[in-house]
């Protein structure tokens, strides 16, 4: 059970939901500046996503909590992140599975799914904790949204 506090996002939407998730995954960073993190090692990632919007869908949901878990946990839990196409590059640092990139990719995948919905929810923040002492917060800019 996860009861952590997270940074708050300022917004004017009527509804905001947050979904906590955790997942076990391995990764390595294919760059010599990453030091010991060039070797495969694992983390229990703690993730929180913040979704907001002004209207609900036909279920009375802003978005189903279970859908968010499917997009993140189902895809990555107990996997080697570098095996996924989105993290497979050995050259492009924007595709290395760093905490920063993991947070951005989670935002991209969630927002792509939210864009299909009539009530148009927005993912405003993705928080990814990689270790007890290290975390990243990703917040999209207005131009990152398609609508
Ligand atoms: N900006 C980033 N720096 C580092 C990342 C990252 O994703 N973004 N990742 C790593 C490693 O993957 C490592 O697993 C985590 O690093 P670190 O916080 O140094 O882990 P420690 O448990 O050793 O932290 P201590 O606070 O020193 O115990 C490295 N850097
Ligand atoms: Zn790591």
* Ligand 1 contact, 37 CB (< 6 A): yes
Q: For residue range 33-71, what is the model confidence (pLDDT) as tens digits?
A: 999 999 999 999 999 999 999 999 999 999 999 999 999
Instruction: Inform me whether the pLDDT recorded for 95 exceeds 70.
Output: yes
* Ligand 1 contact, 111 CB (< 6 A): no
pTM over 0.90: yes
Q: What are the strands, taking DSSP E only, across the chain? A: 15-27, 41-53, 79-80, 122-131, 134-138
Q: Where are the domains of the chain?
A: 15-142
CATH class in words for 15-142? alpha beta
CA distance 7 to 17: 14
CA distance 27 to 41: 6
CA distance 60 to 77: 29
CA distance 109 to 113: 7
Task: Give the residue-averaged pLDDT of 2-31.
Answer: 93
* Ligand 1 contact, 38 CB (< 6 A): no
In this prediction, the answer to ipTM > 0.85 reads: yes
Instruction: Inform me whether the pLDDT recorded for 147 exceeds 80.
Output: no
What is the number of the ligand 1 atom nearest to the C-alpha of 35? 29
- 3-class DSSP state of 121: coil
| 78 Cα: distance to centroid of ligand 1 (angstroms) | 20
The structure tokens listed for 48 are 């929180």
Q: Which positions are annotated as active-site residues? A: 37, 78, 130
8-state DSSP, 70: I
In contact, 29 and 110? CB cutoff 8 Å: no
Which ligand number lies closest to the CA of residue 36? 1
């Amino acid at each position: 059970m996860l009861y952590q506090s997270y940074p708050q996002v300022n917004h004017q939407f009527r509804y905001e939901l947050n979904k906590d998730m955790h997942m076990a995954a391995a990764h390595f960073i294919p760059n010599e500046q990453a030091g010991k993190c060039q070797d495969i090692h694992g983390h229990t990632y703690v993730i929180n996503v913040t979704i907001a919007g002004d209207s609900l869908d036909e279920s009375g949901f802003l978005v189903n909590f279970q859908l968010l878990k499917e997009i993140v946990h189902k895809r990555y839990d107990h996997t080697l992140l570098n095996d996924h196409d989105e993290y497979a590059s050995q050259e492009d640092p924007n595709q290395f599975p760093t905490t920063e990139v993991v947070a951005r990719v989670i935002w991209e995948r969630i927002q792509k799914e939210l864009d299909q919905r009539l009530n148009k929810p927005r993912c405003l923040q993705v928080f990814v904790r990689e270790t007890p002492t290290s975390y990243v917060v990703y917040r999209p800019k207005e131009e990152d949204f398609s609508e």
